[in-house]
Chains A and B, each alone.
Chain A
Amino acid sequence: DAKTTQPNSMESNEEEPVHLPCNHSTISGTDYIHWYRQLPSQGPEYVIHGLTSNVNNRMASLAIAEDRKSSTLILHRATLRDAAVYYCILGGTHGSSNTGKLIFGQGTTLQVKP
């Protein structure tokens, strides 16, 4: 299975942007990059995903390096409700590293200070 590397923890101040990095040097050509987050006492929730181009949605932006060996999840203005564990995961359809399944790592625990 293709692996991702994330920092164990990060801190941010409320209402400031947060950049959460992820390294995935063994990514295959058909792997999507997925981000999920898990708030305390809840199941994970989908944040964003991308393949090659940068992506934006109402929750966050995903910046993907040109060689696809790293990516960054960007929260434009962190709020206290964004304190969670953020998971960067590789996966996709047939032919990808983790065909048909999401394999979670340790993720990055984000603390947001008021």
Chain B
Amino acid sequence: ETGVTQTPRHLVMGMTNKKSLKCEQHLGHNAMYWYKQSAKKPLELMFVYNFKEQTENNSVPSRFSPECPNSSHLFLHLHTLQPEDSALYLCASSRETGGIGYTFGSGTRLTVV
């Protein structure tokens, strides 16, 4: 265990479904991130939160909706996804947004059918 817990580990959803991914950390970190990793592509940064405030949205389609109720929890709400959204979704946290010492979760493997 890394200290960053993601649930569920695997998710299969239809294109008309609504689902949520959850990320939780109790490392005392103040910054949290969502990354997407598609097959044979580098990790893509999606969203950055610092002290619960969103500081970066990397032109992510609105069918992905993040929520950060506190510094320990991060959600990614999914609706009307496309098959090309199938990927590994990784959550990370860090003490500050300086790029040092990110801790990643194991990810949620999402399949859109």
Contact = CB atoms under 8 A, between A and B. Distances in A.
A103 interface: yes
B100 A49 contact: yes
Nearest to B50: A100
Given A43-B2, A45-B2, A102 B50 contact: no
B33 to A, nearest CB: 8
Contacts of B90: 43-44
A103 B45 contact: yes
B106 interface: yes
Contacts of A7: none
Per DSSP, chain A at the interface is loop
Given A100-B50, A100-B55, A101-B56, A43 B104 contact: yes
Scoring B55, B98, B101 by chain A CB atoms within 10 A of each residue's CB, the highest score goes to B98
A34 B55 CA distance: 22
B54 interface: no
A104 B106 contact: no
A102 B102 contact: yes
Nearest to B100: A49
Contacts of B50: 100
Contacts of B92: 43-44
Interface in B1-55: 2, 4, 31, 33, 35, 42-43, 45, 48, 50, 55
Given A44-B104, A98-B99, A100-B99, A105 B2 contact: no
Interface of B: 2, 4, 31, 33, 35, 42-43, 45, 48, 50, 55-56, 90, 92, 96-107
